[in-house]
Structure 1
Amino acid sequence: MGKNILMICYYYPPLTDVGCKRSVAFSKYWKRAGWRPHVLSVKNPDRTYCSLGKDIPPEGIDVTYTYSLFNIYKFFGIANGLLSRFFGLFGVRLKNYYFYDLFCIPDWFIGWVIPAVISGLKIIKRKKIDIIYVSCSPFSAGLIGLLLKKITGKPLVIDYRDPFGLDYGKYQKVSEKKRFREPIDRRIAEIIIEASDLFTVTTKETEQLYIEQFPSVKNKISTIYNGFDHKLLDGLQEQEKFSKFTIIYTGNFYFDIEFDYFFEGLGILKREGEINVDNFQFLFYGGNFDPIKESIEKHDVLDLVVIKSRIPYVEVLKEIKRSHLQLLRIMQPMISTKLFEGISLNVPFLATIPSGEVEEIVNKYNPDSYVITDNSANSIALNIKKAMGTKKEFINSKVDFFIERFSREKISMTMLELFNNL
Structure 2
Amino acid sequence: MHRIRTSLPYYKELGWAVEIVTVDDRYVDIVKDPLLMESIPKNIPIHKTKALSKKWTSKLGLGSLALRSFLYYRYKVNRILTHNKFDLIYFSTTEFPICALGAYWKKKYGVPYVIDMQDPWHTEYYKDKPKNQRPKKYWFSYRLHKYLEPKAMQHVDGITSVSESYIETLKQRYIHLNNKPTRKIIFGAFDFDLEIAQKNYDNLKIGYSEKADKFNLVYIGRGGYDMRDAVKLLFEAFKKGIKENPELFKKFHFHFVGTSYASLGNGVQTIYPYTKSIGLSEYVTEHTDRIGFYETIKTLQKADGLVIIGSNQAAYTASKASTYILTQKPLLAIFNKNSSVYPFIDDCNAGHLIALGDDIKKAYNCLSKYLSQVKDKIMPITNWQAFEPYTAKSLTIEQVNLFNEIVNQKNQFILNHI
Give me the whole-angstrom Cα distance separating, in 2, the residues matched to 1:184 and 1:149: 22
Give me the whole-angstrom Cα distance separating, in 2, the residues matched to 1:307 and 1:111: 31
What is the CA distance between 1:345 and its match in structure 2? 3.2
Correspondence for 2:88 among 122, 131, 143: 131
Map 1:31-110; keep pairs closer than 5 Å: 31-43=12-24, 46-48=27-29, 50-54=30-34, 55-56=36-37, 57-71=40-54, 75=58, 109-110=66-67
Structure 2 length normalisation: TM-score? 0.76
Correspondence for 2:269 among 290, 303, 311: 290
What is the CA distance between 1:397 and its match in structure 2? 4.4
Give me the whole-angstrom Cα distance separating, in 1, the residues matched to 2:44 and 2:110: 25
Task: Confirm or deny that 1:354 pairs with 2:314.
Answer: no
Correspondence for 1:327 among 307, 314, 332: 307
**Corresponding residue for 1:336?**
318
**Corresponding residue for 1:13?**
none
**Corresponding residue for 2:158?**
198
Correspondence for 2:148 among 158, 167, 188: 188
What is the CA distance between 1:214 and its match in structure 2? 2.3
Map 1:5-404; keep pairs closer than 5 Å: 20-43=1-24, 46-48=27-29, 50-54=30-34, 55-56=36-37, 57-71=40-54, 75=58, 109-168=66-125, 182=142, 185-220=145-180, 221-233=182-194, 244-258=214-228, 259-274=231-246, 279-286=251-258, 288=267, 290-307=269-286, 311-323=291-303, 325-331=305-311, 332=313, 333-357=315-339, 358-366=341-349, 368-374=351-357, 378-390=361-373, 393-402=378-387, 404=388
Contact residue 202 and residue 225 of structure 1 kept, 8 A: yes
**Higher mean C-alpha deviation, range 409-418 or range 31-40:** 31-40
Query: How many residues were matched structurally?
Result: 370
Unaligned 5+ residue runs, structure 1? 1-19, 80-98
The one-letter amino acid paired with 1:196 is V
Contact residue 223 and residue 270 of structure 2 kept, 8 A: no
**Corresponding residue for 2:205?**
none
**Corresponding residue for 2:389?**
405
Give me the whole-angstrom Cα distance separating, in 2, the residues matched to 1:263 and 1:397: 26
Give me the whole-angstrom Cα distance separating, in 2, the residues matched to 1:322 and 1:42: 32
Identity of aligned residues (%): 19
What is the CA distance between 1:47 and its match in structure 2? 4.0
What is the CA distance between 1:349 and its match in structure 2? 3.4
Contact residue 249 and residue 371 of structure 2 kept, 8 A: no
Contact residue 265 and residue 377 of structure 1 kept, 8 A: yes
Give me the whole-angstrom Cα distance separating, in 2, the residues matched to 1:378 and 1:46: 49
**Higher mean C-alpha deviation, range 201-210 or range 27-36:** 27-36
Give the number of the structure with larger relative contact order, counting CA–CA contacts within 8 Å between residues 6 or more apart: 2
Q: What secondary structure does 1:218 align onto?
A: helix
Q: Spell out, residue by residue over 1:103-139, the C-alpha distance to the aligned partner (whole angstroms, 9 max, x if none).
A: x9xx552231222111111111333222222223211
Contact residue 217 and residue 253 of structure 2 kept, 8 A: yes
Q: What secondary structure does 2:271 align onto?
A: helix
**Higher mean C-alpha deviation, range 316-325 or range 107-116:** 316-325
Give me the whole-angstrom Cα distance separating, in 2, the residues matched to 1:412 and 1:205: 21
Contact residue 349 and residue 382 of structure 2 kept, 8 A: no
What is the CA distance between 1:313 and its match in structure 2? 3.3
